[in-house]
Copies of this chain bind each other. A is one copy, B any other.
């Protein structure tokens, strides 16, 4: 890790220090993925079975995971594990239930009522990556909001063998459409459907470069599926003042660094000694980690920034727009109103990132790679959509008519005007008959 003093840098150096490394495509991934998608669209289940054998080294007896297998998985888990997953489920459900919007109803002028209502997205697909360890927390973060939003069809795909923890959480979330398929082929199956796998409207979840590229491709095809958000390497930025505990900061930076060699890890502090002591603590803690190699690689491109004030720390953080933002200062709450770009914010000494990753109740699917400028932390809203409704009384329309007619004339849209005047004329005729 390198330590830099922010004020000693030129504008350009500051800019490039916070610049994210370009994700090297390339062209090869894009081509490989489009071949996989074409294959799945043409050969369906057969392609899924063959690609799974090729990439995951397993030919599952059946693409679909049976209810018996889910039951068996649950029976194999320890009570502690089940209790932990249930507690996390409960907190995440509590927070996401609170996100249910009320119907909005406004009478904008007499007789003109406008409403905003929401509906669940009917069918959603959840992608859960495989890899060296299972990711039941990702099932929680996608499955809980899908369940609370009321999505009618929820499909889950994950490369086999699917871990017991994943199947158990799927059961908690009421998911029964579970498939032994991963990678770009899983995304293709959910976007276009096969004989076995249900086609979905929107696909959620993290994944490797192939999964990310597949999501991008299917979301660019109107016959494909929408996706949650663009993906990028995971990130944390810690703002700490002299009151912070360097051991805690180091632990938080390391818990980001162990995610992957491309993880972005940044400390910003107005106190040079905090930067020094954090660097020492990192070296000490690193020794005890099983994923120390990965963390070390990530730390290679990480930075400790010494700023001249907390205000400058905030402005650096807003400029960078981290996925995770940890604020370990004397009065963290006071900074919140100044924070503009971040995925999820962790306040104070007792709020490490890992509580949000698993169990505080917030969602761990967050915009990263600078997308915090425009994208939201995943929430209930992403599993539903807003529609508007308007209902005018005859009097309301008569009152609004001149406005609509005048603008329609300016826009040269006769029939738009006519749709109003034909009604007002009938109204006038009616009221004259009554007289």
Contact = CB atoms under 8 A, between A and B. Distances in A.
B248 A423 contact: yes
A419 B251 contact: yes
Contact of A258 (B355, B361, B367, B414): B414
Contacts of A333: 391
A-B interface, 8 closest residue pairs, ranked by CB to CB distance from nearest: A133-B412, A84-B406, A108-B361, A376-B386, A352-B419, A226-B374, A347-B391, A251-B419
15 contacts: A83-B406, A94-B108, A95-B106, A108-B361, A122-B373, A133-B411, A135-B411, A137-B411, A220-B220, A257-B415, A285-B415, A343-B387, A343-B388, A354-B404, A359-B403
Interface in A130-144: 132-137
A361 B251 CA distance: 51
A416 interface: yes
Given A374-B201, A407-B85, A420 B381 contact: no
A18 interface: no
A315 to B, nearest CB: 13
Interface stretch (A2-10, A59-67, A306-314, A334-342): A334-342
A193 interface: no
Nearest to A124: B374
A360 B392 contact: yes
Contacts of A72: none
Nearest to A118: B376
Contacts of A159: none
A116 interface: yes
Contacts of A413: 133, 255, 258-259, 291, 354
Interface stretch (A44-52, A170-178, A272-280, A393-401): A393-401
B396 A350 contact: yes
A402 B104 contact: no
B423 A392 contact: no
Given A222-B369, A350-B393, A407 B359 contact: yes
A416 B121 contact: no
Interface in A232-258: 232, 245, 247-248, 251-252, 254-255, 257-258
Contacts of A360: 108, 112, 114, 390, 392, 400
Contacts of A80: 402, 406
Given A87-B403, A116-B379, A357 B416 contact: yes
A288 interface: yes
Nearest to A86: B403
A404 B355 contact: yes
* Chain A facing B: main interface SS: mixed
Nearest to A137: B407
A327 B106 CA distance: 20
A381 B404 CA distance: 26
Nearest to A251: B419
A248 to B, nearest CB: 6
A246 to B, nearest CB: 11
Interface in A96-129: 98-99, 104, 106, 108-109, 112, 114, 116-117, 119, 121-122
Given A202-B374, A350-B423, A353-B416, 18 more contacts: A90-B109, A95-B114, A119-B340, A122-B373, A165-B410, A254-B415, A254-B419, A285-B418, A336-B389, A347-B390, A348-B391, A350-B394, A351-B390, A352-B420, A354-B416, A356-B388, A358-B403, A360-B390
B375 A381 contact: no
A346 interface: yes
A374 to B, nearest CB: 4
A391 B422 CA distance: 59
Contacts of A297: none
A330 interface: no
A158 interface: no
B165 A345 contact: no
B95 A407 contact: no
A109 B355 CA distance: 12
